[in-house]
Amino acid sequence: MLPLLPLHIVVVIPVIAGAAGYFLPRNAYHRLLFLVNVGIVVAAIAIFAEVRWGGEIVQYMAEWPRWIAIKLVADVYSAPLVLLTAVFFAGTFLFSTRAEYLDKTFLFLFVLLESALIGMFLSGDIFNIYVLVELGMIIIAILIMYKQDKQSVYDAMLYLMMNFIAMAFMLLGIGYLYRITGVLDLAALHERLPLLDDPRAVIVPYAMIMTAIAVKAALFPLFSWLPRAHGAPSAPAIVSAVLSGVQVKAGVYLLVRISATFSPVIDAAPFFMILGFITSVIGFLLAIAQKDIKLILAYHTVSQVGLIVMGLHLGSDVAFWGGMYHIINHALFKGLLFLTAGIIIEQYGTRSYAEIRGVLRHMPAIGIGTLAGVLGITGAPFFNGSISKYFIQQGLQGDLGGLGMLLINFGTTLSFVKYSLILFGKPNAPKPLTRDPWVAVISLLFGLACLAGGVLGGPTVALVYGPQYSAAGALGAQKLLTFFLTLAVAVATYFFVVKRIGGFLTMIRNFKFSFNQITVFMTLFFVGLLGYAWWFV
């Protein structure tokens, strides 16, 4: 059907507005970009509604014929993510109206990142995806080191070089694909790949592109860039929130998209399912070892992305949509936690979890927001995390799967028992300065969204993606019992085990891989995926 408004509008408007308004004074520029973001939210809602009730929108740029033109696609996977990105950026703009570090260059780069992300979600052409991912990579590297203090330049350099190697892999893979099929359009690739004489010819490009995407999605053992980038000591709170909330999801989204393109020839779902599980376990183990509250959150993102990837590749529909729903949920609660963590760090002047106490009494709005985020992420009843985890759990088969899920839940709860210690106790910071009221409003709104996503879990999934599943089981007596038992065991484990192995945790915390080792891991991942695909095709 004919689209109501051209798709490329939402991609180019942020860039054009950012460039055209650059001469304005800083506050006016900030306001202009916020208004533009509100407009994009409206446009994204229109696109979402059209896709949801009218079917997918396909647009060929510049009136070139099919398969030659650059294609934009809005379908049931990408439209909700575009909406999520737009809402997220509008929220962070409102959140940061009085932040001093935001000068005009920063704001311009920030809207450019929004364009790159939305473009990535809408792109139906693999080379276009490559270019937009590279654009996002460069902008993120600049944003990480924006304040240039502590080791942020090192973090940004490691991030940039590691991702650049990954993108070189992707470029070679795309070249290979183009050589054997002659097209770059994802839909056309999907049609042509099964027609090849020798399906094994696809294995090498597949492994190359997937290695790059696994780096983007931060899968084990390629996640070491993520905590550095997301928890970088100097990165502003809104950058961390956007990176963890939306940008990692772009990697997961590409994983789904490109896997679907290659699905007639290669099916590596078991490989990614097991990898997702390992990522999830390693992520929370490392999160428990951290002292810095932002690093706890950042390692936790690794763990949750592992859970999402696991859910997406379990091979059951419920778990797949559970994983898709968890993408949105994780964006909400992790974005909220990063935003509030930024305010807490600013207020207390420290990043160590041991030195922050009494947030709930000191700054009630921020404290309640943090609490809502923690409840969401641990999958407490009535919060959104419980619904998506419940759906993922339904896709698991056998006792082993159930045990694995229990382990992940336990680890999540354990690391957040540690994190939520900062909420209680006697406040040990000076009286809060008069703050921007929007900070509290946004925190509470995100917290409310976490609650709403849980209370209305089943209907939300039906509204956003279409399939109807009952989420009533998530509030069943057995689930409640499991949750509170897990919580009790986690609290006990924290006070009787984790607190006594401080030396061991310090060792884990201080252990870092050098650039060369990371590159070796990347090569090993490539060889491993190549071997897997070779064996099973």
Partner 1 sequence: MAFINQLQISDLAVGLFFLGLYGAMSQRNIIKTIMSVGIMDIGAITFFMMANYPEGAKPPISSTPVEYMADPVPQALMITAIVIGVSVIAMCLAMYMRVAYRYGTADWKILIRRLEK
Residue 141 binds partner 1 (CB under 8 A):
yes
Residue 145 binds partner 1 (CB under 8 A):
yes
Residue 200 binds partner 1 (CB under 8 A):
no
- Report the run of H or E that residue 492 belongs to, with start and end: helix 477-496
Tokens coding 259? 């896997």
Question: CA geometry: angle at 99 spanning 446 and 351, to 5°?
Answer: 75
- Choose, by CB under 8 A, the member of 99, 171, 187, 445 that binds partner 1: 171
* Nearer of residues 38 and 157 to partner 1, judged by Cβ: 157
Smallest distance from the beta carbon of 422 to partner 1, in angstroms?
A: 23
Are 70 and 103 a contacting pair, CB within 8 Å? no
* Nearest Cα residue to 96 out of 37, 156, 150, 179: 37
Site for partner 1 in 245-264 (CB under 8 A): none
Smallest distance from the beta carbon of 183 to partner 1, in angstroms?
A: 9
* Nearer of residues 223 and 526 to partner 1, judged by Cβ: 526
- Choose, by CB under 8 A, the member of 175, 194, 270, 432 that binds partner 1: 175
Smallest distance from the beta carbon of 106 to partner 1, in angstroms?
A: 17
Count of CA atoms in the C-beta half-sphere (13 A) of 80: 21
Are 415 and 287 a contacting pair, CB within 8 Å? yes
Tokens coding 473? 């089981």
Smallest distance from the beta carbon of 180 to partner 1, in angstroms?
A: 9
- Choose, by CB under 8 A, the member of 6, 55, 182, 502 that binds partner 1: 182
Interface region with partner 1, contact rule CB under 8 A, candidates 46-54, 171-179, 236-244, 386-394? 171-179
* Nearest Cα residue to 332 out of 467, 155, 460: 460
Number of Cβ within 10 Å of residue 2's Cβ equals 7
Interface region with partner 1, contact rule CB under 8 A, candidates 128-136, 341-349, 428-436, 469-477? 128-136
Residue 172 binds partner 1 (CB under 8 A):
yes
Are 98 and 66 a contacting pair, CB within 8 Å? no
Residue 484 binds partner 1 (CB under 8 A):
no
Residue 138 binds partner 1 (CB under 8 A):
yes
Smallest distance from the beta carbon of 143 to partner 1, in angstroms?
A: 13
Tokens coding 419? 């994190």
Burial class (CB in 10 A: 0-12, 13-18, 19+), 254: buried
- Choose, by CB under 8 A, the member of 11, 165, 189, 442 that binds partner 1: 165
Relative orientation angle of helices 398-420 and 384-394, to the nearest 10 degrees: 160
**x-or-dash string of contact with partner 1, 281-300, rule CB under 8 A:** --------------------
Are 268 and 532 a contacting pair, CB within 8 Å? yes
Are 112 and 175 a contacting pair, CB within 8 Å? no
Residue 174 binds partner 1 (CB under 8 A):
yes
Site for partner 1 in 391-420 (CB under 8 A): none
Residue 468 binds partner 1 (CB under 8 A):
no
- Choose, by CB under 8 A, the member of 515, 527, 531, 534 that binds partner 1: 515
Residue 530 binds partner 1 (CB under 8 A):
no
* Nearer of residues 69 and 285 to partner 1, judged by Cβ: 69
* Nearest Cα residue to 287 out of 508, 450, 512: 508
Smallest distance from the beta carbon of 271 to partner 1, in angstroms?
A: 22
Tokens coding 134? 């590279």
Burial class (CB in 10 A: 0-12, 13-18, 19+), 15: middle
3-state secondary structure of 534: helix
Residue 131 binds partner 1 (CB under 8 A):
yes
Which residues fall within 8 angstroms of residue 52, CB to CB, at 6 or more apart? 76, 79, 463, 464, 466
Residue 374 binds partner 1 (CB under 8 A):
no
* Nearest Cα residue to 447 out of 388, 367, 353, 390: 367
Q: Which residues bind partner 1 (CB under 8 A)?
A: 127, 130-131, 134-135, 137-138, 141-142, 145, 148, 151, 153-154, 156-157, 160-161, 164-165, 168-169, 171-172, 174-176, 178-179, 182, 184, 510, 512, 514-516, 519-520, 523
